[in-house]
Chain A
Amino acid sequence: MKEIKVLGSGCTKCVKTAELIQSIAAERGIEVQVVKETNPEVFMHYGVMRTPAVVVDDELKHSGSIPHRAQVAEWLD
C-alpha cells in the first residue's frame, strides 16, 4: 500500500489535493493511505517551500499547486 503525505498549512488547496488523490485512488481501486502533514519541521525535512506538496513513499513528487489528475494517476500506478 502506498503511503502518501500531503504537506501544507491546512489551506483549502491542501485539503483539495488530499481529496483528489483519495478519489482517484478509489476510482482505480488502489489502496492508499493519505496523511495531511502540517508540521513545519516536516516541510523543512523534504525541502518544501511551496505548498501543497505531495510525498509518495517518502519521495517528494510535487510542490506548489493542486496536482493535475494525470500526475496523480502516474504516482499511483
Chain B
Amino acid sequence: MLSLFTDLATWLVYSLAGFSPEARLGQSLHFFVEDTTKIFALLVIMIYSIALLRASLNVERVRDYLANRHRLTGYGLGSLFGAITPFCSCSSIPVFLGFTSAGIPVGITMAFLITSPLINEVAVLLLISLVGWKVTLLYVLVGMAVGITCGALLDAFHAERLLQPFALKAYRNASAGQSSGASRERMTLRERHTFAKDELADIFSRVWKWVFIGVGLGAALHGFVPQDWFEANLGHGEWWSVPMAVLVGVPLYSNATGVIPVMESLILKGLPLGTTLAFCMSTVAASFPEFVLLKQVMQWKLLIILFLMLLMAFTMVGWALNIGYVG
C-alpha cells in the first residue's frame, strides 16, 4: 500500500516535472516528495485513530497507577507509560512535580520522562514505514532500556537529594502517604472524537515543520552524499565514530519526527545501525532546551549527572549494536 507514495513521487518528479532519475537533484526530489506525502498521510490517519483509543489515558491516571509500585516493576512501567502517554514537552516540569509529590521515586519519574520523547506513536509509525519493523522494534527496545537503566541508576545513588529543596520537600511529605483521586469518568464517543480532533490539530501543528526539515535533510543526504562515502569512512563501525555521533547529536535539537527521515537516509547510505541510532537518540533525548527546563526542579549537579548518563547510555548502545551488526 505504501508503494502508492513511491508511484506518486515518480509520476510527479520524473514524468510531470521531467527530472532525470539518474540526476542527483531528481533523486533528492523524489525522496522528498515520497517521504513528505507518505508521512503526512500516515500522520493524519494514525494520530486521529490512536488518540481516539487512548483519549482517557492521561498523566494523572498514570501517576495514580505508578504510585506505590514496587521499584523493579516501577521502572519498566514508568518507561512503558512514557512511550504511550501523550504529553507535550512543555509539561515536563508539572509532570515531574506531580509524580514526585505523589511519592513516586525520581528514577521511575525519569524513566517516564526519558522514554517519552524517544518513543511515541508518531515515531513508531514513521520508523515502521521508513525503515521497517525490525529496526523499529530495536529502536523501541533500546529506548525503553535506556529509560529504565538511567532511572534505576538515579535511584541507586539517591538522586532525590539533588532535587531543588521545594521538590525534595514535596517528595518527603508524600512518602508519608497520601493519595490523590484523579477522575475516572467514562468518555462518550463524541468526547473521544473531540479529543482526537484537538490532538490531531495540536500534534500536527507541532510536527509538520519537523517533517519538512527532517525529510529535506534526508533528501539532501540521499542525493548529494556519494553512496560510498559513509561506507568508506564510517562503514565498519570504527569505535570512535559512536561517541562522535552522540556528541554531534547534542547541539542538534530535534524531535523524533524530524530525525527519523534522516535516520532512514543514513541507514540507506550504509552507516552502521549502532552509530545511526546513537546519533538519532542523542539528538532527540539529550537536548539543551529540555535540560534548562529541568533546572527548575533539579540542582546543577544532578542535571550534569543525568546528561552524562544519557550520553554514555547512547554510546554503549551504539557500540553493542555495531558489534552485532558489523561483526
Contacts and interface: CB of A to CB of B under 8 A. Distances in A.
A43 B93 contact: yes
B97 A9 contact: no
Interface in B80-98: 87-88, 90-91, 93-95, 97-98
Contact of A48 (B88, B90, B94, B170): B94
Nearest to B87: A50
15 contacts: A9-B293, A14-B90, A40-B94, A40-B296, A41-B166, A43-B98, A44-B97, A44-B101, A48-B98, A49-B60, A50-B58, A50-B94, A50-B95, A64-B58, A65-B198
Contact of A43 (B87, B97, B293): B97
Contact of B202 (A14, A44, A49, A65): A65
B97 A40 contact: yes
Given A44-B94, A44-B101, A49-B94, 9 more contacts: A8-B90, A9-B93, A9-B293, A43-B93, A43-B94, A44-B98, A49-B60, A50-B88, A50-B95
The 3 A-B residue pairs with the shortest CB-CB distance, nearest first, are: A49-B98, A11-B90, A43-B94
A48 B99 CA distance: 11
B172 to A, nearest CB: 14
B222 interface: no
B141 to A, nearest CB: 28
B297 A40 contact: yes
A74 B94 CA distance: 26
Which of A8, A9, A41, A65 has the most CB atoms of chain B within a 10 A radius of its CB? A9
Contacts of B297: 40
Interface in B33-68: 58-60, 63
A34 to B, nearest CB: 19
A72 B95 CA distance: 24
Contact of A50 (B59, B166, B170, B180): B59
B90 A13 contact: yes
Interface of A: 7-9, 11, 13-14, 40-41, 43-44, 47-51, 64-65
A9 to B, nearest CB: 5
Contacts of A9: 90-91, 93-94, 293
A67 to B, nearest CB: 11
B90 A40 contact: no
Interface string B12-38: 000000000000000000000000000
A17 to B, nearest CB: 12
B195 to A, nearest CB: 9
Given A9-B293, A64-B58, A65-B198, A47 B91 contact: no
Contacts of B296: 40
Given A9-B293, A65-B198, A65-B202, A51 B97 contact: no
Contacts of B59: 49-50
